[in-house]
Structure 1
Amino acid sequence: MKKILDLMEGQLRAAFSACGYDETFAKVVLSNRPDLCEYQCNGSMAAAKAYRKKPIDIANGVVEQLGDGQGMFSMVQAVMPGFINLKLSGQFLADYMKGMAAGEKLGLEKPEKPETIIVDYGGANVAKPLHVGHLRAAVIGESIKRLGNFLGHHMIGDVHLGDWGLQMGLIIEELRDRKPELVYFDESYTGEYPEEAPFTIGELEEIYPAASAKSKEDEAFKERAHQATLKLQNGYAPFRAIWNHIIRVSVTDLKKNYSNLNVTFDLWKGESDAEPYIPKLINLLTEKGLAYESQGALVVDVAEETDTKEIPPCLVRKSDGAALYATSDLGTIIQREEDFHPDRYIYVVDKRQDMHFVQVFRVAKKAGIVEQDVPMIFLGFGTMNGKDGKPFKTREGGVMRLERLISDIDEAVYQRIMESERRSMTEEEARAASTIIGLAALKYGDLSNQASKDYIFDVERFSSFEGNTGPYILYTIVRIKSILNKYREDGGQVDETAETKVILPPAGETEKALMLLLTRYSEVLENSFAETAPHKICQYVFELANAFNSFYHETKILSEGDEARKDSYIGLITLARRVLEACIDVLGFEAPDRM
């Protein structure tokens, strides 16, 4: 089903062409003066320069040729100095609503060429709990992956675990100090290593910070950890066995915690998976003459003449032969090219890593690892701050665990439900609902902000049932569900596809406003994906929820005496509910049946 803008532009292109003007001037945009019109075409202004005519003369000619656009428009008007103002007809809108309701994915068109797209998000470290710093990558990345899948692309989400650096050596040596009797530290041991890990997730999460703190005070311990890391990376069997335990225990816990966020990954790869590709990377860079030695290290120049700031060389191997993050990321790209040959890459990472990814992407392109026309997008996100404007912390000043943050917002939602004068839930029902609503509050609170910007995390505001919040969006959906349930109880039938239900032209302004917003559904989803901007979907669902609530407050839906009109209302609000549910599913949360 064609987007509403494409249909309008089709009519305008024909009119411009019939008047002897290039049809590229027929671009239609949403009006910035909704008090005057719904859409507008400003092409006459640009055409005036090309054809040396007055803009208003061009606009008048196009308007005369356009007429009502075969019933599409209720108003077509040329105004000074040369704008063409447009309003859609009620019948056209009603027919478009019915087409959306009956169409697959509400009329969303399949992409002409579906792409295979890697989304690198998550970035958790093994042996460490997820904390608030992991929230944005997970939530933003998940929404982009879901949106791409919904549009018809093949999205591959990779958690890209941190599992191969010095932290592994620190854990191994701390474990040696605590449990020297373990067989992994007996050099004479030749048997099979135990299947059960010598630590729980709780112990593991305590071991790493203790080891990290010790390494800052004890140089000998730090050197032991460094040597242990090298032995692990060189394949030393006892340390590989410990490492496998760390991975299994950590990934099991990470999957549980990501699941609480309704976040999933297609790949659970880590930095360690890039290790076999690093020799190939170094050989490639050397053979192509891109890598050279600088103070004993191996570097690649990536600066370009068009740069407006200094771009340092990319360091791909340290002087002691150790790999770095850039080495690992480039090795991972080689692996992804061999396994998937993606059409696009999207990295969802803290914006402070911008320079790192500029360097990595340029090396990948210069070396021919990735073809020049393949987009490599760095979606850098800002910081989640507390009310004091500083990075979000616990009251004690530490980094808050993600599961505690989720618990806090669930509790805030639960308290709001219990304090509501209209509460009809038991405590048990309120607890169950607060988990669903709390996730919406958390995700919407994050996603409604432009990814690159810092924002204030405010539990009180995010959990509010009013304003631009997740709970408000859910409350709107639940309100529609309630109306539809009452309609069914009164003997009415709700047709989800509207194939047998007639949707009439709007009877009032709020009904037309709701229809106009519903027509923008496909455009919003496609643009949000093209711009990797999930906040635009949040903006849309907020406007749509407001439009529905304005219509609801003005319209006696269930007590409407005209049965055909009532049926039309039901068809329209059913479509509104389906659009809202499709959008929040892409954002990564759902609505309860009651609130």
Structure 2
Amino acid sequence: MDKILDIITAKITKGFIACEYDESYGKVTISNRPDLCDFQCNGALAAAKKYKKAPMMIATDVLEKIKDDPDFESVEAVNPGFLNIRISNTFLADYANEMASSEKLGLALVKEPKKIVIDYGGPNVAKPLHVGHLRSAIIGESIKRNARFLGHDIIGDIHLGDWGLQMGLIITELQERQPSLVYFDDEYKGDYPKEPPFTISELEEIYPTASKKSKEDDDYKERAMTATLNLQQGKPGYRALWQHILNVSVSDLKKNYEKLKVDFDLWNGESTVQEVIPPMVKRLKDEGYAHESEGALVVDVAREDDTKEIPPCMILKSDGASLYNTTDLATITERVRLYNPNQIIYVVDKRQSLYFEQIFRCARKTKMVTDDTQLDFVGFGTMNGKDGKPFKTRAGGVMRLESLLNEIDEGMYKKINENESMSEAEARDTSKKVALAAIKYGDLSNQATKDYIFDIDKFTSFEGNTGPYILYTIVRIKSILEKYNATSTLPEDAKINPASNSVEKNLLLLLTRFNSVIENSFNELAPHKICAFIYEIANEFNHFYHETKILTQEDEEKKNGWICLLNLTKSVLETCIYILGFDAPEKM
């Protein structure tokens, strides 16, 4: 289906063309004064200078050509030259009915689907997920779902931190604790054990212990660096231990991400591209892109038009070691080789914006990507506590993500369990769904780049701009439909009727913006636009609900029309929350 805004714009544009004005002036926008009109065209004001005519004269000319269109309830030319448009209730109902009967609610799939890789998540193995990992996972998952819903071919990659000094630290600490393990016997030639010599809980205690020791003991740190080098050079025992670390960590990570309804297509890490690095570095040297600077190998990425200093992109340190830059550039190289993507999206803390500016410039300058490849950085702000500082536990430590989820889940369970009509199993399932909605909507309703206050009390409220309020609205609709279906059967030819009042029309106008919102949200990589949209719908529906006696309406055709409207409202809301990454329970 064409977007409703495009249909109205095409009609107004015909009026401008008929008056021999340029078609570019026919653009229509949603009115910011819904009390005056549904849509508005300001093209006459822009055309006045070119045609040396008063804007009001141009608007009046166009009005004469379009005023008899049956899809318009009214069109007015208003000083200083606006065209105020109200669409007919019949046209609006017809559009809504077409949405209801169309696949994906009338959303037109993209004509030229992109191949996209989205890089989000980015946890380090051997460390528990904490609240700092929340935003990347939630925002990235929503963008991925949005792209996929539009018809793009998108691949989600977690990009694990699974290489480097942290591995050497764990190996060193393990050797101190269990020196007799076969992994540390250079003479051992047999197969290594299939079972790891540690649990996830032990592993998560080993790393911070080792990290603390390395800061206090230079000899310990030196041994860890040597272990890291030996691992990277392929020492069999260390590689076997590293594989154990990876397996145990990834298994735990998958459980936690599953609770968040976050799913990755690729579980690649920095280690995946280690073999890509040597030939990449050689090419950068051979083709003259990289040069030595104070012993390090760098690529200059500054430009003459820069208004701030952009340091060179370091490829190798002075000791020849690679770093994050090297790994990220090698990852781009490998993604291009394997997938040839039109677009690569990174969802990372906004404080890394300069770093990614260097990476993107280096990738373009060195021809790792084509000029047409989109490289997008979605930088997100900090999730803070009520004190305005990064969110922590009551004891002042960094809160584990699992602990946060459990805390909110238990809080929701207590609220929901007050509804004595639910079984224990129903209450538990509902509390999980509402808690997840509270967390995800609480995050996504904020513009990604902004810091925000993570206020558990506010986010778990059933009133206001919250996830639970959105779910409560959907459950309310489900309840009405369930009561209707218990006593009636909706006729096959039932359809949404033309609105009988402004409340009904306002709800319909909002619903018809669905395909525009979904498109714009992805094009701008801005999930908060979907949140704003469904909050408006929830408010407008609840206004409609309080003004309308739906189930007691004696006029069957009118009642059936409202049931069709409820079905469409539910479908729009449920589709939007699916894209945001959560779903609604049957009861609340």
Q: TM-score, normalised by structure 1?
A: 0.98
Q: Secondary structure of the residue that 1:164 maps to in structure 2?
A: coil
CA contact (8 A) 2:494 2:557 kept: no
Query: 1: CA distance between counterparts of 2:283 and 2:524?
Result: 33
Q: Per-residue deviation at 1:494?
A: 7.6
Q: Per-residue deviation at 1:189?
A: 1.2
Q: Per-residue deviation at 1:61?
A: 0.6
CA contact (8 A) 2:534 2:576 kept: yes
Equivalent residue, structure 1, for 2:512? 519
Equivalent residue, structure 2, for 1:490? 487
Equivalent residue, structure 1, for 2:271? 272
Equivalent residue, structure 1, for 2:440? 443
Query: 1: CA distance between counterparts of 2:416 and 2:190?
Result: 59
Q: Per-residue deviation at 1:114?
A: 0.4
Structure 1 segments, 4+ long, off by >4 Å, are none
Q: Per-residue deviation at 1:326?
A: 0.5
Query: 2: CA distance between counterparts of 1:557 and 1:88?
Result: 25
Residue type at the aligned position of 2:202: E
Query: 2: CA distance between counterparts of 1:333 and 1:502?
Result: 51
Equivalent residue, structure 1, for 2:18? 18
Partner deviation per Cα, 1:105-128 (whole Å, 9 max, x = no partner): 000001010011110000010001
Q: Per-residue deviation at 1:427?
A: 4.2
Partner deviation per Cα, 1:447-504 (whole Å, 9 max, x = no partner): 0000000000011110001100000000000000000011011123386xxxx32221
Equivalent residue, structure 2, for 1:216? 215
Q: TM-score, normalised by structure 2?
A: 0.99
When structure 1 is superposed on structure 2, of 285-294 and 150-159 the one drifting more is 285-294
Equivalent residue, structure 2, for 1:27? 27
Query: 2: CA distance between counterparts of 1:444 and 1:494?
Result: 36
Q: Secondary structure of the residue that 1:276 maps to in structure 2?
A: coil
Equivalent residue, structure 2, for 1:60? 60
Q: Secondary structure of the residue that 2:274 maps to in structure 1?
A: helix
Equivalent residue, structure 1, for 2:254? 255
Q: 1:408 to 1:279 in 2, by over 3 A?
A: same
Query: 1: CA distance between counterparts of 2:506 and 2:26?
Result: 24
Query: 2: CA distance between counterparts of 1:415 and 1:202?
Result: 29
Equivalent residue, structure 2, for 1:176? 175
CA contact (8 A) 2:67 2:74 kept: no
Residue type at the aligned position of 1:590: D
Query: 2: CA distance between counterparts of 1:427 and 1:239?
Result: 48
| Aligned residue runs from structure 1 range 297-446, under 5 A | 297-419=296-418, 424-446=421-443
Gaps of 5+ in 2: none
Q: Per-residue deviation at 1:68?
A: 3.8
Residue type at the aligned position of 1:502: K
Query: 2: CA distance between counterparts of 1:275 and 1:521?
Result: 44
Partner deviation per Cα, 1:142-187 (whole Å, 9 max, x = no partner): 0000010011001100000000010000000000000001001111
Say yes or no: does 1:503 pair with 2:496. yes
Q: Per-residue deviation at 1:415?
A: 2.4
Equivalent residue, structure 2, for 1:463? 460
Partner deviation per Cα, 1:174-225 (whole Å, 9 max, x = no partner): 0000000100111111111111111111110000000000000010000000
Residue type at the aligned position of 1:304: R
Say yes or no: does 1:46 pair with 2:46. yes
Partner deviation per Cα, 1:56-85 (whole Å, 9 max, x = no partner): 00000101101243x221110000000000
Q: 1:6 to 1:423 in 2, by over 3 A?
A: farther
Partner deviation per Cα, 1:216-243 (whole Å, 9 max, x = no partner): 0010000000011111111111100000
Residues matched between the structures, number: 588
Q: Per-residue deviation at 1:533?
A: 0.1
Residue type at the aligned position of 1:551: F
CA contact (8 A) 2:285 2:291 kept: yes
Equivalent residue, structure 1, for 2:565? 572
Q: Secondary structure of the residue that 1:378 maps to in structure 2?
A: strand
Query: 2: CA distance between counterparts of 1:424 and 1:36?
Result: 46
- State percent identity of aligned pairs: 60
Gaps of 5+ in 1: none
Query: 2: CA distance between counterparts of 1:77 and 1:478?
Result: 41
Residue type at the aligned position of 2:266: L
Query: 2: CA distance between counterparts of 1:536 and 1:68?
Result: 35
CA contact (8 A) 2:333 2:368 kept: yes
Q: Per-residue deviation at 1:288?
A: 2.2
Q: 1:24 to 1:339 in 2, by over 3 A?
A: same
CA contact (8 A) 1:284 1:367 kept: no
